[in-house]
């Protein structure tokens, strides 16, 4: 049988029907499962047979969600977690030991920085950051004890890209475990495993849920690493609730159609913004003016749902713009049906110093738009009136 397309996998990956013959997967809201016999219980605990025991370990809803994500990313195995951050922390904590070192891109999600800078050093795990626009310098940060290469592409909120093929080769040459946070692109737009990535992880809170309802995470990748991460999660307990897993699995059924619309709206908005006289620059991976436009077309199917732009007049002008918006929401989330405007320098990236922000291209006048699924005319109209 030929490999199914993403649209089909996201709809037709489904847990076995119960005797009720339901069409859509039901919610299995149960903390534990019963054994057929004392012998069955023994065999389950000895892991001689497959089956659910306790929902901290597995549940039909989390199993379906993980299996769907594995098929979409092209991964061998996976595990779901209570949040994107627990996916990141559990992966690093499971794979690293005291004395190990992580090389990461500087433009990471804010809480990922806190894990690297503040939490892992408590257990003697060190880090270095490479700048996203200086890949030629990264090799010199690799030490004898470097074990993980940790990346995010496209970056948030700068929308710069890392060449995944280059990263895969770098990791291979230095025997590093390559971990990619694929939250911005989703497996519909970008499949890091095709370029040699070992572990792909997500905040399911964003485009996977897609409707701004729940928090969750997922980790997929090579079996040898997932085995260690699963062990860590089973016993330390960042389990995803069956309800959220059920919701995310339902959401994945519409991931391709939603992403198409997010991307089409975002490209149209980026083109519209480029024509505005009070907008100094616009950044979007599928705009021909993006410095890495060719790379974007190579490793991404479309440009994603996030656009960044800089307003003439700096922070004051950005503030005025945000306060004039009517339809758009002021919030820090992304990947929602509702279009969201964010001022990174004063909110999501306010903990960075001015110099650190400059390195990752977060200017005082930068606004991030997480483009939703409303009619593009209405999104543009609201932005147009707020700009003038
Ligand atoms: C939101 C986000 C996270 C954290 O996920 P939570 O579900 O909020 O814990 C990690 N990485 C990226 C790129 C994100 O956007």
pLDDT given at position 1: 64
| Atom of ligand 1 lying closest to residue 87 CA | 9
- Fold classification of 6-252 is 3.40.640
| Atom of ligand 1 lying closest to residue 216 CA | 7
* Digit-coded pLDDT (tens) for 146-185: 999 999 999 989 999 999 999 999 999 999 999 999 999 9
Question: At residue 32, what are phi and psi to the nearest 5 degrees?
Answer: -135, 175
Q: CATH 3.90.1150.10: which residues of the chain?
A: 255-387
For ligand 1, atom 7, name the residue with the nearest CA: 84
Question: How many angstroms is it from 109 CA to the middle of ligand 1?
Answer: 7
pLDDT given at position 361: 84
If one counts every other C-beta atom within 10 angstroms of the C-beta of residue 188, the result is 23
pLDDT band at 356 (very low <50, low <70, confident <90, very high): confident
The H or E element spanning position 94 is helix 84-95
Distance CA 153, CA 216 (A): 20
Distance CA 183, CA 215 (A): 13
pLDDT given at position 360: 83
Q: Which residues form ligand 1's pocket by a CB distance below 6 Å?
A: 83-85, 109, 111, 152, 156, 181, 183-184, 203, 205-206, 215, 217
CATH of domain 255-387: 3.90.1150.10
pLDDT given at position 354: 86
- Whose CA is closest to 254, among 262, 265, 242? 262
Average pLDDT over residues 202-215: 98
For ligand 1, atom 8, name the residue with the nearest CA: 84
* Digit-coded pLDDT (tens) for 193-204: 999 999 999 999
Top mutation candidate among 150, 179, 180, 183 for ligand 1, by most atoms within 8 Å of CB: 183
* Digit-coded pLDDT (tens) for 306-355: 999 999 999 999 999 999 999 999 999 999 999 999 999 999 888 888 88
DSSP string, 31-42: SB---SSHHHHH
Q: Which long-range contacts (CB under 8 A, 24 or more apart) does 141-146 make?
A: 141/103, 142/103, 142/174, 142/176, 143/101, 145/99, 145/100, 145/101, 146/100, 146/101, 146/102, 146/103, 146/174, 146/176
Q: CATH 3.40.640.10: which residues of the chain?
A: 6-252
């Amino acid at each position: 049988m030929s490999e199914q397309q993403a649209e089909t996998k996201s709809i037709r990956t489904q847990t076995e029907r119960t005797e009720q013959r339901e069409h859509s997967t039901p919610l299995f809201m149960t903390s534990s499962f019963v054994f057929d016999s004392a012998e069955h219980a023994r065999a389950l605990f000895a892991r001689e047979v497959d089956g659910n025991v306790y929902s901290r370990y597995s549940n039909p809803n989390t199993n379906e969600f993980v299996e769907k994500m594995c098929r979409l990313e092209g991964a061998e195995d996976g595990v779901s977690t209570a949040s994107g951050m627990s996916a990141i922390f559990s992966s690093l904590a499971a794979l690293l030991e005291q004395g190990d070192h992580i090389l990461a891109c500087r433009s990471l999600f804010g809480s990922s920085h806190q894990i690297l800078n503040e939490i892992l050093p408590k257990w003697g795990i060190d880090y270095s950051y490479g700048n996203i626009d200086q890949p030629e310098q990264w090799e010199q940060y690799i030490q004898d004890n470097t074990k993980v290469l940790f990346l995010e592409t496209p970056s948030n909120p700068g929308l710069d890209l890392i060449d995944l093929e280059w990263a895969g080769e770098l990791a291979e040459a230095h025997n590093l475990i390559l971990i990619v946070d694929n939250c911005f692109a989703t497996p519909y737009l970008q499949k890091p495993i095709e370029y040699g990535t070992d572990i792909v992880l997500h905040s399911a809170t964003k485009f996977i849920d897609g409707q701004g309802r729940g928090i969750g995470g997922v980790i997929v990748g090579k079996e040898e690493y997932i085995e260690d991460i699963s062990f860590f999660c089973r016993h330390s307990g960042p389990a995803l609730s069956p309800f959220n897993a059920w919701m995310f699995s339902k959401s994945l059924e519409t991931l391709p159609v939603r992403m198409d619309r997010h991307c089409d709206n975002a490209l149209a908005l980026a083109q519209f913004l480029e024509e505005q006289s009070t907008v100094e620059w616009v950044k979007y991976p599928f705009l021909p003016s993006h410095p890495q436009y060719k790379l974007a077309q190579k490793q991404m199917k479309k440009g994603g749902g996030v656009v960044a732009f800089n307003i003439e007049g700096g922070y004051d002008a950005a503030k005025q713009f945000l306060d004039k918006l009517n339809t758009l929401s002021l919030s820090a989330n992304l990947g929602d049906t509702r279009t969201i405007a964010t001022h990174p320098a004063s909110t999501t990236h306010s903990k960075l110093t001015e110099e650190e922000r400059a390195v990752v291209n977060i200017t005082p006048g930068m606004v991030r738009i997480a483009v939703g699924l409303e009619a593009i005319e209405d999104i543009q109209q609201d932005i147009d009136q707020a700009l003038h």
